[in-house]
Amino acid sequence: MANDEPIPETKLTSTKRQWAAGGKFLTGRVARPETDRLPPGQHLVKDWPVLDLGQQPHIALETWRLDMTGLIEKPLSLDWKAFQSLPQSDSLSDIHCVTTWSRYDNRWQGVLTRDLLDQVMLKPEAEYVLLTSYDGYTTNLPLIDFAAENAILATSWEGAPISRAHGGPLRLIVPHLYLWKSAKWLTRIDFRAADRAGFWERNGYHMRGNPWLEERYSGD
């Protein structure tokens, strides 16, 4: 699917819009990540549920690219070989989905976002990123969240390549925000001076998405 094509309506998108409109799952509680490992309204799972917008693009490594654009001194377009030549790191983190499941102790391998930023030289006015996926999905992040210490552009999970269903060959993981901010099938990172709502943010979901503050929906 081309990145500028509209994302088709599915049962999931319709249902999640209804959840946002009705404030489903909200508990009204506030927690602290320093003392409360499980955010409010979440429950633990052992598996890794698959949620998407009805498409799981097939991306051959021979044609895969990751483009960095916008407010950077060195716009960059990486093929798979060039991405693999960047410093590789391991990371351990929990993940939290806005649909109320959480999974502890996920082991990732890939490129830390901070190491990627070293390649592009940010301009001083860059404060946000807009992420675009191969299926046309978009989501926004403050730069400070994208550059968090344990944020990683992950290519492996639990010692194996990330599956197509979970966003392979490469997806972002920003573990301190709800998982919809961790774009699957990532293909472009645009550095911006102003925030711009992505797909779910235009459809009733929070612009930041902090699980411990229950920032599920735009009206929270």
- Write down the mean pLDDT value for the chain: 91
Alpha-carbon 43 to chain mean position = 20
Residue 15 within any structural domain of the chain? yes
Residue 3 within any structural domain of the chain? no
Rounded to whole angstroms, the Cα distance separating 33 from 148 reads: 15
Q: Which residues pair with 133 in a beta bridge?
A: 186
List, for residues 173-187, the tens digit of each pLDDT value. 999 999 999 999 999
List, for residues 104-144, the tens digit of each pLDDT value. 999 999 999 999 999 999 999 999 999 999 999 999 999 99
Residue 5 within any structural domain of the chain? no
Rounded to whole angstroms, the Cα distance separating 175 from 126 reads: 22
Residue 220 within any structural domain of the chain? no
Dihedral sign of CA atoms 157, 72, 83, 4 in order? positive
Q: Show the CA angle centred on residue 189, arms to residues 145 and 217, nearest 5°.
A: 50
Which residue blocks in the chain are alpha helix, DSSP H? 11-22, 80-84, 113-120, 143-146
List, for residues 52-111, the tens digit of each pLDDT value. 666 789 999 999 999 999 999 989 999 999 999 999 999 999 999 999 999 999 999 999
Residue 208 within any structural domain of the chain? yes
* Number of structural domains the chain divides into: 1
Domain that holds residue 200: 11-213
Nearest to 170 by CA among 121, 115, 117, 109: 109
Residue 37 within any structural domain of the chain? yes
